[in-house]
Amino acid sequence: QVQLQESGPGLVKPSETLSLTCAVSGSSINSFYYWGWIRQPPGKGLEWIGSIYHTGSTYYNPSLRSRVTISVDTSKNQFSLRLSSLTAADTAVYYCARRVGTTENLDYWGQGILVTVSS
């Protein structure tokens, strides 16, 4: 059974950098899937952040590209998100998910982690 689990701080200060990690089990990071991040502000819709392939190739939402870095650690079977220059608008539930490249969908999701940006 494929499982993804997000971890990281629940509270971050404005202007700081958010770091989240997604641990993957039941599926190898080195497989032919991509690994992505999506966020959802409270009471609002979903927003695509970006994704990474195990080779390290990254793909970012143009609206966030200047602040986002996604990396992969194949030895730990996990991938990570860094989002810099945080503002209150970045408060959201952050999800990691497995992206199927052949059909371009997200077939497995983590449970999500709420990140609040506040001083």
Partner 1 sequence: QSALTQPPSASGSPGQSVTISCAGTSSDVGGYNYVSWYQQHPGKAPKLIIHAVSKRPSGVPDRFSGSRSGNTASLTVSGLQAEDEADYYCSSYAGTDNFVFGTGTKVTVL
Residue 3 touching partner 1 (CB under 8 A):
no
- List the interface residues with partner 1, window 7-66 (CB under 8 A): 38, 45-48, 51, 59, 61-62
Q: Which is nearer to partner 1, 15 or 57 (CB)?
A: 57
- Alpha-carbon span 107 to 20, nearest angstrom: 20
Chain center to CA of 36: 5
Q: Which of residues 88-117 bind partner 1 (CB under 8 A)?
A: 95, 100, 103-107, 109-112
Q: Is 71 in the site for partner 1 (CB under 8 A)?
A: no
